[in-house]
Amino acid sequence: MKGNQLSIKTIVAIGIGAAVFIILAKFAAVPSPVPNTSIQTSYAFLALMAVVFGPIAGGLIGLIGHALNDAISYGSVWWSWVAVSMIVGLLIGLAAKKLDIESGIFNTKKIITFNIVQVIAQGFGWFLVAPALDILIYAEPANKVFLQGLFAGVSNMVTVGVIGTLLLAGYAKTRSRSNSLTREL
């Protein structure tokens, strides 16, 4: 076994994570007024998975989850946006070590760190990468794609900022500290 291979747990996390990402995208997305975009709670979940399982898992959950979802729901894949999901998952995952959610502590300092990271990651993805790829692949007008990216980015920043933070706090609570369980009669 080589040391740099993905662990089984990460592989499973990617697979199941992608499945959950898809189900959330399908059932828990709120339509928005801007064309072709919606408020996606699935990104909050993506952020959680990235923080728990690291950048590779985050990136691949975004990539596989988004691509498969596009494929089975719409019959074609919008690669430019899939790429963004991947980048967002990957970048947020880079903060996993620093946030160390497994410790069960998720204090104000960590909340701020998490939100700074997610805003940067999503800003980069939605404001730059998505429009750039749209122009490159589909030669769509620049001002249109930038506005689209701007809207998607901002709404996702808010979703991840609110729901994502809540999910992380909830998750941290479930990490039972060691030596803590006793039978109380």
Partner 1 sequence: MKKRVIEFNNYSFKYHSQAAPTLHDINITIFEGEKVLIVGPSGSGKSTIGHCINGLVPFSYKGEATGSLKIMGKDAHSLDIFSRSKIVGTVLQDPDGQFIGLTVGEDIAFSLENDSTEQGIMKNLVEETVKTVEMDEYLSSSIHHLSGGQKQRVSLAGVMVDKVEIILFDEPLANLDPATGQYAIELIDRIHKETNTTVVIIEHRLEDVLHRHVDRIIVVDDGRIVADMCPDKLLSSVILESSHIREPLYVRAAKYAGCDVIEEMKPSQLHSFSIESCKDKLLDWFEKANEAVPKEIKLPILQLKDISFRYAPGHETIKGISLSVEKGEMVSIVGKNGAGKSTLSKIICGFEKPRSGSILFKEQDITGDTIKERSFRIGMVMQNPNHMISKHLVFDEVALGLIIRGVPENEAKKQVEKVLKICGLYPFRNWPISALSFGQKKRVTIASILVLEPEVMILDEPTAGQDLRHYTEMMDFLAELNRQGMTILLITHDMHLMLEYTTRAIVMNKGRIIADDPPSMILTDSEITRQANLKETSLLVLAKRVGIKEPKEFVEHFIAYDREVRRQWQ
Partner 2 sequence: MAVEMLSYIDRKTPIHQLTGVTKLICFIVWSSAAMLTYDTRILAFLFIFSIVIFIVSKIKVSEVSFVLIFILVFLFINNMAIYLFSPQEGVKIYGSSHVLIEIAGRYNVTIEQIFYQCNVTLKYFAVIPIALLFIVTTHPSEFAASLNKIGVSYRISYAVALALRYIPDVQRDFRTIALSQQARGIDMSKKEKLPIRIKNAASIIFPLILSSLDKIETISNAMELRGFGKSNKRTWYSARPFQRGDYVTLFVFGVIFVTAMVVTFHDGNRFYNPFES
- By CB under 8 A, residue 97 contacts partner 2: no
177 binds, among partner 1, partner 2, none (CB under 5 to 8 A by kind): partner 1
Give the H or E element holding residue 146: helix 142-159
If you write DSSP's letter for every residue of 13-60 in order, what string do you get?
HHHHHHHHHHHHHHHSEEE-SSTT-EEETHHHHHHHHHHHH-HHHHHH
Integer Cα distance of 24 and 89 in angstroms: 16
- By CB under 8 A, residue 5 contacts partner 1: no
Query: Considering beta carbons, is residue 36 or 109 the nearer one to partner 2?
Result: 36
Q: By the 8 A CB rule, do 61 and 21 touch? A: yes
- By CB under 8 A, residue 125 contacts partner 2: no
Determine the interface stretch with partner 2 among 45-53, 83-91, 115-123, 124-132 (rule: CB under 8 A): 45-53
Q: By the 8 A CB rule, do 133 and 92 touch? A: no
CB of 103 to partner 2, least distance (A): 16
Q: Residue 159, Cα to own-chain centre: how many angstroms?
A: 11
Q: Which residues bind partner 2 (CB under 8 A)?
A: 1, 5-6, 8-9, 11-20, 22-24, 26-28, 30, 35-36, 41, 45, 48, 52, 60, 64-65, 68, 71-77, 79, 137-144, 147-148, 167, 170-171, 174
Q: Which residues bind partner 1 (CB under 8 A)?
A: 170, 173-174, 176-185
